[in-house]
Amino acid sequence: MSAPPAAPSRREATKQANRAAILAAAREVFADLGYGAAGVRDIVRGTALASGTFYNYFPDKEAVFRALLEESVAEARALTRAARQAAGSLEDFVAGAYRAYFGFLAADPQLFDLVRRNAGTISTQFAEPSFGLSIAELEEDLRAAVAAGTIPEHDAAYMAAAMVGTAFEVGVRMVQRDPPDVAGATHFATELFLGGMGRLASRS
Amino acid sequence: MSAPPAAPSRREATKQANRAAILAAAREVFADLGYGAAGVRDIVRGTALASGTFYNYFPDKEAVFRALLEESVAEARALTRAARQAAGSLEDFVAGAYRAYFGFLAADPQLFDLVRRNAGTISTQFAEPSFGLSIAELEEDLRAAVAAGTIPEHDAAYMAAAMVGTAFEVGVRMVQRDPPDVAGATHFATELFLGGMGRLASRS
DNA sequence: GACAAACTTGACGGGTGCGTCATCTTGGCC
DNA sequence: GGCCAAGATGACGCACCCGTCAAGTTTGTC
């Protein structure tokens, strides 16, 4: 995505591998111990590298955590947002975003574990690249859809919060089902919000 | 609630005060640094006590954290559950529980901060006294209400998850409003779920 | 006021993590 | 094969935290 596509020289190859090993170990450790309790040594222990090597790749645990989030959470956000913005109808808006999101979750449950375990830390210390921003984006899209007449009037801040909270908790249940029930969860969330929006629009 | 009501002897008084000071400092520290990153020393520093004194009251940070949760989260859970079980109608069921919950949040926002910051830790390491259990209880109550005919048929696991996720995230927005908008949040959540349940019941 | 029990204090030993750096190893190149 | 630069290694110094405990202080009692 960023490196020159040719030149898989031997040196470059180990470098990529080491970086990947650190990231993989870090994902495991952060999901397991939580960001706060984890240390650089815990991460290094999950690789075949020496402790000093870590610092050739990242300055500290915060940087690894950031890299982990940025490389993957951004993708989920972009995906759901694209689904929402491509939507022509209210049903598309809701169903498309949930389908994209739940599909992503099912495809990368480890990432979800990481985020779930560290949601509190992420929203207080790493607000930018993640969930807080997701909600802000959703809220923005909701307002735009209301202005365009796609969606009935409502409290966009609460609605965005409810949609994200639901996505999160229903997502937890979904990945636990075997097989991961993407269609069922999407259907459930979509009907819930379409029904809810309808009722909120008609009364008060 | 547990100590003999009489006998506020001088000794007993300091004891209570010390315990309270530790708990207060701990709430602050855990909400701030997160459970994992916090240490016993961080807590002690927030009091006027010496480090050794801490261990006269709690064996380690885990015990303080447990005490903190048990003394307050249990209350919120009991409150919402009582509201649900007293409900005679569907509307009561949803509105009563949300009103109880949002009211509690507004009354003790610091507790909410603590839980929010450490939700991941709580659900993985302290599942028993807290949110995981809350969801299980709600699911149980939903099934009972469906059996009793108060609520239309639906996927109770997803519904419980959605209701809790919504409570959580809408709660965050609610406490940020000034004044804390208990009635508005309750109205919103109630209408959302009544509408959603209706639609989920009628289709598929 | 004197005494014992209850409690507090903070220094201590043991342990661990952090980030660095001198040294060794490996890959690229002629 | 020989040389140099890039990179890996892990021991080191420093800092900090944990849980304990001997010594000091406060409280209750006679």
For residue A132, the model assigns a pLDDT of 61
Chain B contact set for A204 (CB, 8 A): 187, 191
Q: Please give the structure tokens belonging to residue B2.
A: 């547990």
Residue-level pLDDT at A4:
44
Question: B199–A187: do the CB atoms touch at under 8 Å?
Answer: no
Query: Nearest-CA distance from B95 to chain A in Å?
Result: 14
- Tell me the chain A residues in contact with residue B169 when contact means C-beta distances shorter than 8 Å: 135, 161-162, 164-165, 168
The pLDDT value given to residue A130:
60
Q: Which of B156, B164, B142 is nearest to B77 (CA)?
A: B164
**Structure tokens, A92:** 């598309």
pLDDT of residue B21: 98
Per the prediction, chain A carries an average pLDDT of 92
- DSSP 8-state assignment for residue B23: H
- In this prediction, residues B187-193 reach a mean pLDDT of 98
Residues in Cβ contact with A90 at an 8 Å cutoff, skipping those fewer than 6 apart: A145, A150, A151, A194, A197
Q: Given this model, what pLDDT does residue A204 score?
A: 54
For the stretch A166-185, pLDDT in tens is: 999 999 999 999 999 999 99
Q: Averaged over B111-121, what is the pLDDT?
A: 95
Q: In which band, very low, low, confident or very high, does the pLDDT at A202 lie, cut at 50, 70 and 90?
A: confident
Q: CA B76 – C1' D27 distance (Å)?
A: 38
CB A98 within 8 A of CB A81: no
Indicate which of A125, A130, A174, A191 best probes the interface with B, i.e. most B CBs within 10 Å of its own CB: A191
What does the pLDDT read at residue A9?
86
Chain B residues in contact with A158 (beta carbon < 8 A): 170, 173-174, 184-185, 188-189
pLDDT at A3: 41
CA distance B79 to B138: 12
pLDDT of res. B134: 83
Question: In the numeric block, which tokens belong to residue B52?
Answer: 């050794």
For A48-85, the pLDDT digits (tens) are 999 999 999 999 999 999 999 988 888 888 898 999 98
pLDDT exceeds 80 at position A10: yes
Handedness of CA B6, B11, B13, B15 (dihedral sign): negative
- Give percent of chain B above pLDDT 90: 78
Q: Kindly state the DSSP code that residue B1 receives in the 8-state scheme.
A: -
Dmax over CA atoms of chain B, in Å, equals 67
The DSSP element (H or E) to which A159 belongs, if any, is: helix A156-176
Partner residue opposite B119 with nearest CB, options A120, A191, A194: A120
Query: DSSP string of A162-203?
Result: HHHHHHHHHHHHHHHSSS--HHHHHHHHHHHHHHHHHHHHH-
Nearest one of B27, B61, B120, B174 to A120, comparing CA atoms: B120
- Give per-residue pLDDT as tens, B21-37: 999 999 999 999 999 99
pLDDT at residue A138, rounded to an integer: 94
**pLDDT in the model for residue B10:** 85
State the pLDDT confidence band at B204, using cuts at 50, 70 and 90: low
pLDDT at B203: 62
Q: Does residue A23 surpass a pLDDT of 90?
A: yes
For residue range A87-138, list pLDDT tens digits in order: 889 999 999 999 999 999 999 999 999 999 999 999 999 877 666 678 899 9
Residues with CB under 7 A from strand C: A 9-12, 14, 39-42, 51-52, 55, 60-61; B 11, 14-15, 18, 48-53, 56
* Beta carbons within 8 Å of B99's beta carbon, 6+ residues apart: B83, B182, B186
Q: What is the pLDDT at residue A75?
A: 85
Residues of A with CB below 8 A from B196's CB?
191-196, 199
Mutate to test the interface with B, among A169, A173, A194, A197 (most CBs of B within 10 A): A169
Quick one: pLDDT band at residue B7, thresholds 50, 70, 90? Answer: low
The pLDDT of residue B127: 80
